[in-house]
Amino acid sequence: MLCGLPILEVSIYALVFYIAAAAFLGYIVSYFIGLKLGKWLLTRPDSLFFKSSYLNVAASYFEKRQHGAIIIGRFIPIIRTFLPLCLGLIKSNFRNFMVYNLIGALVWTSSLVLAGYFLKIIFPELIHYLEWIIVSLIVITSIPLIRQYLKIKRGTGG
């Protein structure tokens, strides 16, 4: 939202481009970390953040929904962090990963940056409710993650 204010003097196009580039490159780095450290990670004992049994569930989920998961996963806070790492871990097809990584980075950054930019122009009073908007978006985008977690806990898979 700062791009629409006099606080930040940068073109909206440049802002979208640079954030998309950072998102794209960040996923590539995370993919290679998963690819290179995957074997080591699998030999580690289960912990709060990583359970090797979840990798099998993730592998079958990504085989069915990989392309959509790469794009939609960007909008889900925790998934966004671990998705490329997991895709590297399961040695997902790199060419497909790159294509959908680029699409996902462009869609994610464009939608968020442009939504904030145009909402500021259309509803300037929204700036006073920014914290509540962010918390609401995090809660809403976490619902699919929570539902999937509950399915796994109940043993119905995915």
Please write the tens of the pLDDT for every residue from 9-46.
778 889 899 999 999 999 999 999 989 988 787 787 87
Predicted local distance difference test score (pLDDT) of residue 89: 86
> Distance between CA 63 and CA 137 in Å, rounded?
28
Write down the domain spans for the chain.
Answer: 2-154
Give residue 110's pLDDT band: very low, low, confident or very high (50, 70, 90).
Answer: very high
Q: Given a cut of 90, is residue 50 above it in pLDDT?
A: no
Please write the tens of the pLDDT for every residue from 113-154.
888 888 778 888 877 887 888 888 888 878 877 887 888 888
Q: What is the pTM of this model?
A: 0.71
> Distance between CA 40 and CA 47 in Å, rounded?
14
Mean pLDDT of the chain: 82
> Distance between CA 119 and CA 85 in Å, rounded?
33
Predicted local distance difference test score (pLDDT) of residue 1: 43
Q: Given a cut of 80, is residue 63 above it in pLDDT?
A: no
Please write the tens of the pLDDT for every residue from 84-102.
888 898 888 899 999 999 9
SS3 for the chain, per residue? CHHHCCCCCCCHHHHHHHHHHHHHHHHHHHHHHHHHHHHHHHHCCCCCCCCHHHHHHHHHHHHHHHHHHHHHHHHCHHHHHHHHHHHHHCCCCHHHHHHHHHHHHHHHHHHHHHHHHHHHHHCHHHHHHHHHHHHHHHHHHHHHHHHHHHHHHHCCCC
Predicted local distance difference test score (pLDDT) of residue 153: 81
